[in-house]
A = this chain, B = another copy of it.
Amino acid sequence: MNKEQIFEQIKKKETFLCVGLDTDLKKIPEHLHEYDDPIFEFNKAIINATAPYCVAFKPNLAFYECEGVDGWKSFEKTVAYIKQRYPDQFIIADAKRGDIGNTSEMYARSFFDGFKLDAVTVAPYMGEDSVKPFLIYPNKWVILLALTSNNGSADFQLIKDENGERMFEKVLRISQSWATDNEMMYVVGATQGELFKDVRKIAPNHFLLVPGVGAQGGSLEEVCKYGMNSKCGLLVNSSRGIIYADNSDNYAQSAGEEAKKLQLEMKEMLGKYLI
């Protein structure tokens, strides 16, 4: 999927929501444990309930890895299910990988050749040759961490260099010599508020993957006010706020309702801020 195709989906569905599949065995409704693969059962129901209101799904690898081999099977089945049933959805592996060249090659092979995902989140600390192996796959995306949503983001990402340029700005600037805005997006946390203005000064045309709305407290309005561009340029993720909206047998319906609420807000934001 290229940038234009993502924007087409956003316009058609009037949403730029990404549903985060951070599926934790300890948090899903009790009765699902009767199934052979409770994680997959949960995901299927969440996917079906939320698909009308989102344009992307983002399984978070940590939650699958932590169940070992079974978790990887659940991940594999979840991705295959989305691809077969909802081929227009953009699928992001939230993996935050990044290693020396020959190792990043293996990660890229795994996510793009193996699972056929559309995008993978990548950590920038190791620099160009840790990111480039992910960029050789046509029509696939690297989503590079720039300014994350957590408190610790201030520890290193806001450090200023001799010329006053902050680390996240440097990541945004330097990485643009590695790839175009049709191959790379950036992670910018919804909790960063007005800093979206600074991000847009350096990366006006890139899509931003924005976690941190919902449980982490980011404001959708602020993100849109400072971050939206003429192709929307935003994929706003919500995980816990949607998938754990309700712990009863009614969990999928509640997840659908939460996703719909966000979709309606996003529709309003598109009317207000899409240039």
Contacts and interface: CB of A to CB of B under 8 A. Distances in A.
- Copy number in this complex? 2
Contacts of A162: 160-162, 164
Interface string A142-174: 000100111111111101111010010011001
B110 A150 contact: no
A148 B126 contact: yes
A139 to B, nearest CB: 20
A211 B129 CA distance: 16
A68 interface: yes
Contact of A161 (B60, B159, B171): B159
Contact of A124 (B66, B69, B156): B156
A98 B100 contact: no
A128 B151 contact: yes
Contacts of A63: 103, 106
Interface residues of A, number: 59
Interface string A66-80: 101100110010000
Interface of A: 22, 24, 60, 62-63, 65-66, 68-69, 72-73, 76, 94, 96-104, 106-107, 109-110, 114-115, 123-131, 145, 148-157, 159-162, 164, 167, 170-171, 174, 211, 216
A36 to B, nearest CB: 15
* Closest 10 pairs between A and B when the two form their complex, measured CB to CB: A127-B152, A127-B155, A62-B106, A66-B110, A129-B152, A100-B150, A128-B152, A66-B106, A62-B103, A125-B125
Contacts of A110: 62, 65-66, 68
Nearest to A212: B100
Contact of A68 (B62, B68, B114, B148): B114
A148 B62 contact: no
Contacts of A151: 127-129
16 contacts: A62-B97, A68-B115, A96-B98, A96-B123, A96-B126, A100-B211, A124-B125, A124-B155, A125-B125, A125-B157, A127-B153, A129-B152, A130-B152, A156-B170, A160-B161, A161-B161
B69 A69 contact: yes
Given A68-B76, A99-B62, A153 B126 contact: yes
A60 B103 contact: yes
A131 B153 CA distance: 12
A125 B127 contact: no
